[in-house]
Amino acid sequence: MISVTQLNGRQYWINPHQIETIEANPDVTLTMLSGKHMIVRETPEVIIERIVEYRKRIGAFKNEE
């Protein structure tokens, strides 16, 4: 799970494997596979960095080499 912060300051932990798209328009919006949208404070670069670190922790990159 990775942490994200909504605009109101509330922190959530989400499963990064459920993120379908990340859009910056200008707020950063995550669209989940369920169709739910979340507007977050983090930049797309920070979210991607967190996803990469998460996948390294769980060993997901072993299958992607």
Tell me what pLDDT residue 63 has.
64
In the chain, domain spans: 2-64
Tell me what pLDDT residue 64 has.
59
Strand partners, 40: 6, 28
Look up the pTM and report it: 0.85
Q: Is the peptide bond before 26 cis (omega within 30 degrees of 0)?
A: yes
The answer to whether residues 42 and 29 touch, using CB atoms and an 8 Å cutoff, is no
Taking alpha carbons only, the member of 5, 4, 23 closest to residue 14 is 4
Task: Please state the φ and ψ torsions of residue 30, each to the nearest 5 degrees.
Answer: -95, 130
Which numeric CATH code is attached to 2-64? 2.40.50
Q: Tens of pLDDT along the chain (65 residues)?
A: 999 999 999 999 999 999 999 999 999 999 999 999 999 999 999 999 999 999 999 886 666 55
Q: Which residues contact 36 (CB under 8 A, 6 or more apart)?
A: none
Structure-token pair, residue 38: 């979340």
